[in-house]
Structure 1
Amino acid sequence: MYKNSLSNLKVIDLSTVLAGPSVGTFFAELGADVTKIEHPIHQDVTRSWKLTSEKQDSSISAYFSSINYKKKYLFLDFSKEKDRQELFEMVEEADVLLMNFKTSSQEKLKITDEALLKINPAIIIGKISGYGEKSSRVAYDLILQADTGFMSMNGTPESGPVKMPVALIDVMAAHQLKEGILLALLNQSQQDQKTGQVINVSLYDAAISALTNQASNYLMQAFIPKPQGSLHPNIAPYGEIFQTKDNQRIIFAIGSNLHFKKLVHYIGLSHLAEDERFSHVQNRIKNRTELERLIQSQVIEKNSDDILKDMEKRSVPCAMIKNLEQVFHSESAQKMIREEAIENKITKRVSQIAFKITEN
């Protein structure tokens, strides 16, 4: 029901890499008219971020495809008056403009916020930066993962700090910018005379905002988490990996005493629910190594399919650890795939939209 929700919206996407372009794709999926503008020579760098299996001479990479969808493509050099004027003509008719230029680059190219708002006082300018508008520091997702504590928590005691396999800081910054732009559009819908806004999102602020429970664990208890694999600092068993009889790996997310009682009853260890070492969440955390050993001793006697079905019946959170081939065999994941030809190359990506709207 949402596909053409924003069919009257015109978006100019000047951004590169991941965060900004994914916002452009989000609006394109909602039906907006999105034009991505790149430098004729120095195009979006992700066009060159190819797997070794991809053709070197192709102008499209899988990475680029992941966050560029349903867009028109235009190549302009804003250092040239003619090209800059072409942009300004587009700005006159646009509703939203996305960019991740440094402030100094905007000034050098004569496309400052002030200049854009003078041309179109109602335009919404959405901006992504690494460390805020006033910082000139170069920032990639990896740098932010290191700088905001994520890498220090991720990994195992043996591995030490490890980056997340998805550019999650970029993804979170993109969500923050989407929310800011949608709020601005909502405000404009209530105005007789639309006023423009400049919305700034830094990767740094988005990352700090996403620390959530880990931030409060530190702020309230001075708890500094160390790499502990998939384990949760506040809950157990949660993240321990168990081997099944059919050689699959499963995990449980036991978030309550009720979940724990159901689990241990199912695997034939009902007495553990009354055992002082495991009867409460904090005690389970203190004794999680022994608890893991006891649960594993029973899980190894059961096949993964049986465990998953029985846990679902009992409303106990459980899953098998899947690789992406297994994930995309799922009908649910298949429904999220979006396909289109870009420059005569068939490209695929997953949707930027995870919500579903039901109308009465």
Structure 2
Amino acid sequence: MSFSSSTEAPASALPFADLTILELASVLAGPQVGQFFAELGARVLKVEAPAGDVTRTWKTRAEAPDTDVSAYFSCANWGKHSIVLDLTTPPGRQQVQQLAAQADIVLASYKPGDAEKLGVDYATLRQGNPQLIYAHLTGYGPRTARAGYDAVLQAEAGFMYLNALPGQAPQKMPVAMIDLLAAHQLKQGLLTALYHRARRGEGALLQVSLLDSALASLANQAATWLVTGRDPQPLGSGHPSIVPYGTVYKAGNGRSLVLAVGADRQFRHLCQALARPEWAQEARFQTNEARVTHRAALESLLQARIAEVDGDELLSALEQLGVPAGAVRTVGEALAAESGQPMLLPAGEAPFQGLRTVAFRSSAWSVAPVLSPPPHLGEHTDRAIAGQE
């Protein structure tokens, strides 16, 4: 390809500097994977229909109406080249097939059957590129022609049922959690396929569904049903098998905080910090098993006592005693904190910062890339077409 790297770092410094990704995906899961590769040096060519990725129009009331880069779009599209092609036309199909012939990976998020209609399915594209790795994201798998929407999947996979206080209405997670879980599955599959291709020289078709990704992430909640035959019940932010863990308490100075007490030793230290050491000696609270049994009584005592103390002073004392606890922060507070700064992308040419999708570090590279800002619709179309000549 004739495109330059999406970063200002030396190409050799990043692990995927020699990869080209063709992104035929929209909304969140697929584009999150595209940005992941861009952050690690890959060239990511985002193909959009003439109307653009729908998330360009998903704006909050606080956003400017006269831009095609919404906050939602920007969360998954740093470091990419935007190319507008109409795949319903023969020229558009021909151009995308030529791009795919030079790509290492294709990211697609079409409903089953739609990619074939547009001539961008795996069987078609691999004819011009036998080593192509094609990642196809669907809502419910390759045999169910039903569109996948995060909110619906949160409901159908059990997440909303569990995300509620006892007796209250189920709640959707405040982010598109199922999309993000599917993105992680997609990344794992692609890294596995790249390893396989490096060893065998073979491309691959990867298929990831939102439903499978959601079910795979139920973890201990799924195991509870599989082991006991009983459905886990809503507990708000509480934990079904650890107490006190996750419940929100409000301290006397207005500070909201959570505890994550997973060991009996930690509970004894909590009681010490609250000046109630006798609680740790009561038979109904001495062990985690006993605390789970007497959850309501313990929670009532903790709520009343924590309401009497200064929350910031309590958090400081708990940190010194090694008791896991934290303040409930806003998103802005979390990102503005010193601990949040390494996860922010420098603004560079953009009027705002971005959020990294890569949350790991490696001794194999040390350069923090400065990605190009989320592209305007069709910003790189002419260069893409010229690059095929």
Same fold (TM over 0.5): yes
Which structure has greater strand proportion? 1
**1:157 Cα deviation after fit:** 2.5
Structure 1 residues 81, 340: CA separation in 2 closer, same or farther (over 3 Å shift)? Answer: farther
**1:339 Cα deviation after fit:** 4.4
Which amino acid in 1 is paired with 2:225? Y
Moved more, 23-32 or 270-279: 270-279
Moved more, 293-302 or 213-222: 293-302
1:141 aligned onto 2:126: no
**TM-superposition CA deviations, 1:95-139 (whole Å, max 9, x none):** 001010123211211222111111100010011100001111121
**1:169 Cα deviation after fit:** 0.4
Structure 1 residues 296, 111: CA separation in 2 closer, same or farther (over 3 Å shift)? Answer: closer
**1:258 Cα deviation after fit:** 1.3
Which amino acid in 2 is paired with 1:350? L
How do residues 40-79 of structure 1 correspond to structure 2 at under 5 angstroms? 40-41=50-51, 43-79=52-88
Is the Cα contact below 8 Å between 1:69 and 1:340 reproduced in 2? no
Structure 1 residues 3, 21: CA separation in 2 closer, same or farther (over 3 Å shift)? Answer: farther
Give 2:331's aligned residue: 324
Give 1:165's aligned residue: 174
1:124 aligned onto 2:129: no
1:29 aligned onto 2:39: yes
Give 2:354's aligned residue: 349
Give 2:375's aligned residue: none
**TM-superposition CA deviations, 1:268-318 (whole Å, max 9, x none):** 222222211111222212222221222234323432222222211221110
2: distance between equivalents of 1:121 and 1:48?
37
Structure 1 residues 340, 15: CA separation in 2 closer, same or farther (over 3 Å shift)? Answer: farther
Gaps of 5+ in 2: 1-8, 366-389
Aligned partner of 2:23 among 4, 9, 13: 13
1: distance between equivalents of 2:59 and 2:203?
38
Is the Cα contact below 8 Å between 2:251 and 2:309 reproduced in 1? yes
Which amino acid in 2 is paired with 1:208? L
Aligned partner of 1:203 among 210, 213, 230: 210
Give 1:215's aligned residue: 222
Is the Cα contact below 8 Å between 2:111 and 2:147 reproduced in 1? no
2: distance between equivalents of 1:127 and 1:199?
6
Is the Cα contact below 8 Å between 2:273 and 2:314 reproduced in 1? no
Structure 1 residues 142, 84: CA separation in 2 closer, same or farther (over 3 Å shift)? Answer: same
2: distance between equivalents of 1:81 and 1:340?
38
Is the Cα contact below 8 Å between 2:112 and 2:143 reproduced in 1? yes
2: distance between equivalents of 1:359 and 1:96?
23
Is the Cα contact below 8 Å between 2:111 and 2:139 reproduced in 1? no
**TM-superposition CA deviations, 1:220-258 (whole Å, max 9, x none):** 112212322111110111122222232101111111111
**1:325 Cα deviation after fit:** 2.2
Aligned partner of 1:334 among 328, 332, 341: 341
Moved more, 261-270 or 5-14: 261-270
1:4 aligned onto 2:14: yes
Aligned partner of 2:289 among 258, 264, 282: 282
**1:260 Cα deviation after fit:** 0.9
> Secondary structure of the equivalent of 2:353?
strand
Structure 1 residues 27, 3: CA separation in 2 closer, same or farther (over 3 Å shift)? Answer: farther
Is the Cα contact below 8 Å between 2:242 and 2:292 reproduced in 1? yes
Is the Cα contact below 8 Å between 1:252 and 1:318 reproduced in 2? yes
Identity %: 36
Structure 1 residues 124, 40: CA separation in 2 closer, same or farther (over 3 Å shift)? Answer: same
Give 2:94's aligned residue: 85
1:243 aligned onto 2:250: yes
1:230 aligned onto 2:237: yes
2: distance between equivalents of 1:106 and 1:298?
60
**TM-superposition CA deviations, 1:131-180 (whole Å, max 9, x none):** 00111112100010011100110111243111000101000000000011
1:358 aligned onto 2:378: no
Moved more, 250-259 or 167-176: 250-259
Structure 1 residues 211, 190: CA separation in 2 closer, same or farther (over 3 Å shift)? Answer: same
After superposition, the CA RMSD in angstroms is 1.8
**TM-superposition CA deviations, 1:75-96 (whole Å, max 9, x none):** 0011212121111211121100
Query: Which one has more relative contact order, counting CA pairs under 8 Å at least 6 apart?
Result: 2
**1:347 Cα deviation after fit:** 4.3
2: distance between equivalents of 1:144 and 1:16?
17
Gaps of 5+ in 1: none
> Secondary structure of the equivalent of 1:295?
helix
Give 1:296's aligned residue: 303
How many residues are matched? Answer: 355
**1:23 Cα deviation after fit:** 0.2
Which amino acid in 1 is paired with 2:355? V
Which amino acid in 2 is paired with 1:231? G
Structure 1 residues 23, 309: CA separation in 2 closer, same or farther (over 3 Å shift)? Answer: same
**1:266 Cα deviation after fit:** 2.0
